[in-house]
Each structure stands twice: as structure tokens, then as C-alpha cells.
Amino acid sequence: MRIAFAGVIAIALTGAAVAAESVKVGYTRTATDIALYVADKRGYFKAEGLDVSLINMQSAAVMIVPMSSGDIDVMAGSASAGLYNAITRGLDIRLVASKVTTPKGYTSQTLIVRKDLFDSGKIKSVADLKGQKIANSGTGTAALGTMQRMLKTGGLTLKDIDMVALAFPQMRTALENGAIVAALPAEPVTTQTVNAGVAVKLIKDDEAYPGHEIASFMYSSKLLKERREVGLKFMRALIRGARDHNDGLDDKGMFSGPKGDAIIAILNEYTPVKDPNFFKTFALAYCDPDGAISVDSLREDLELFRELGLIQGAASVEKLVDDSLRQQVVKELGPYKKAN
């Protein structure tokens, strides 16, 4: 009886030891969530003892409340004015790694204009957009910083345009029916809209705002502090996923060879785009293999939010960013070196 009882205890303890830690992630199902997809598909989360749930949500703005309530542990989105305001009101969320940035040659968003207006000569440059209705994804997101930088190349400011907020898929419809003149979508909407003959490209964000922190991964306070070891494991798997993605790219950021085809297959599985050739037609926005955060661009965007009266209280980038877990993982894994 004692042996049998001891066996039961041993089994129970073993079961408890291998029980996976639950981590819930809010994301918007974009191509630039590739590090999540690869880590999930290739079992990197499971290898860390994590049970990760990817929860598709409309935008990062709607993730703030479930982050505060503990319904999600991680969010993938931009450092918005709303997020800064929530933090000044006491919400403890931290930006822990980059999701997508815009070094030269890696485009995240492109300002596109209706093809009929471009062909007629009415809109040939950014300067021609003065007084026109242009769609952006929101008034207090990183895309606002992108729009400001793009307009500056044509001698314009945000005050010179009529900006309307639309979701990326709605932008194509609005261009088609003539409701707007131009839009700032992200992939795959940009390429789909241009390929359909609806619009043409005017200026890319990596030209107007190189090194911009477009979107990032953020942790809840509980994951960063009370469950820090779990947060470390998630970070390790995430960076492994980002590195695998970068291994599939050539020196121009295009998917190349068998490794590139394998990453495209994962994108086709996890995103609405099912055509394997689609992702070979453009360079996907840059997902840093070390998750390095572009802090300077975060500061610039915050100053823009403040100038426009979108910030309440003493918000700061320093209160938002916690780079400790990312740095620890990169130290463990070593700096990224492209695999042959």
C-alpha cells in the first residue's frame, strides 16, 4: 500500500511539474506577427513549457482593457496615445520587444493614392494632397507619426489634410468608391489594392521615417513581475521565431530558398492570405531578429501626441519600456547570426 501510494504521489508531482503555463496573446493577425506564428508552429512555445493562445482582436486599442483585467498577458500593437494615457492613470503595461520597424528597404506602410487621380495628373506628389481627404488607421497611433513625416516631404503638416480613421480593409473600399483620395494601409492591403489597379504608391514609410518603431510586444505587469520566468520563456521562444523568419530572407529582405518557402507556408496558414506567391512580390516589413526597440522614434511619436493634445499627464517612454527580458534572452542566445 505504501509503495502504491508513493507511486500515486510521484505521478501527481510529475504531472504538476510538466503542467504548461498559460499565456494569452492579443494580436491583429497581420503578416508582421510572424515571430508569434513561427514560435507557435514550430513548437518553440511548447518547448518552453508554455500553452500559448493567440487571440485575434480588431486593434491594439481594444487590447488595453483586457490587459488591465488579466484576460490577456501579451499584446502586439503600437505605442499609442491611449496606451500612454492608460499608463499615467496607473495601468502597468510594459513594452518589452520590437515587433516591426522600418529600416531603409523594409516598408511597413505605404501612402497610396487613387490611380485615376494619379493618371490624370491631379495628384502626382505629396504636395498635391493639400486639403484632400486621406485615410489613416487612427489619430493616436504610430501611423500618425508616419503620416506626419510623409507630409513633411511635401511641405505639408497634419493640419493641411482632412484625415479620417479607417481600418486597413476599409481603405481599399473607400478608394474604390471615391470617398477618399489617398490612404496609408499596411500589407497585405497595400499590395492587394495596387495590384487591383485601384491605387498607386506615392511614398513608403522607410523613406520618410526610417527606423520607426511601428509596433511592439507588450507584457502585463503580472507577466513581467509575478510570472517573470514565464515572461522570459515567452521572450526566448518569440526571438527564436523572429530569427527563423530572418533566416528565410535574402539580403534585400525577400523570401528566398527553402527556408523562405517554409516561412511563407506558415504565413499562409496563420494569415488570411493563402497565395504562396503573394509574399514573394515585396519585402515584408522588418522584424528584428533580436527584438531591438527603436526608443528614439518612440520619443518622437510621444512628442507629436503631446503637441496635438492627445496626452494626459506626465507620460514618458521610460515609464513604458522595459528592455530587461529581451536583453537577457539575447545574452543567452548570443547576437543573431544568419543561418546558412
- Model confidence at 11, pLDDT cuts 50, 70, 90, reads very low
Band of the pLDDT at 17, cuts 50, 70, 90?
low
- Flag whether pLDDT at 290 surpasses 80: yes
Per-residue confidence (pLDDT) for residue 61, from 0 to 100: 82
* Mean pLDDT across the chain: 92
Cell 511641405 appears where? 155
Which of 63, 105, 54 lies closest to 266 in space, CA to CA? Answer: 54
Q: Rounded distance, CA 78 to CA 141, Å?
A: 6
For 308, which DSSP code? T
The answer to whether the CB of 114 falls within 8 A of the CB of 199 is yes
- Among the listed ranges 102-106, 130-134, 243-247, 257-261, which one has the minimum average pLDDT value? 102-106
Q: What is the mean pLDDT of residues 23-34?
A: 93
Look-up: residue for cell 507629436?
304
Please state whether beta strands 21-27 and 74-77 pair in parallel, antiparallel, or not at all (unpaired).
Answer: parallel
Q: What is the pLDDT of residue 7?
A: 47
Given a cut of 50, is residue 12 above it in pLDDT?
no
pLDDT (0 to 100) of residue 2: 38
Dist. CA 205–CA 104, nearest whole Å: 9
Domain limits, CATH 3.40.190.10, in the chain: 19-103+212-333, 110-208
Give residue-wise pLDDT tens across range 120-148: 999 999 999 999 999 998 788 999 999 99
Q: What is the CATH number of domain 19-103+212-333?
A: 3.40.190.10
Between 133 and 3, the more confident residue is: 133
Pairing of strands 213-220, 74-77: antiparallel
- pLDDT per residue as tens digits for the range 133-187: 999 987 889 999 999 999 999 999 999 999 999 988 899 999 999 999 999 998 8
Q: Which of 12-26, 58-72, 222-236 has the highest mean pLDDT?
A: 222-236
d(CA 77, CA 62): 10
Average pLDDT over residues 209-227: 95
CATH architecture designation of domain 110-208: 3-Layer(aba) Sandwich (3.40)
- Bridge partners of residue 186, in order along the sequence: 109
Residues 6+ apart with CB under 8 A from 148: 157, 158, 304
Amino acid 1: pLDDT: 37
Q: What is the pLDDT of residues 306-334, one digit of tens each?
A: 999 999 889 999 999 999 999 999 999 99
User: pLDDT class for 250, splitting at 50, 70, 90?
Assistant: very high
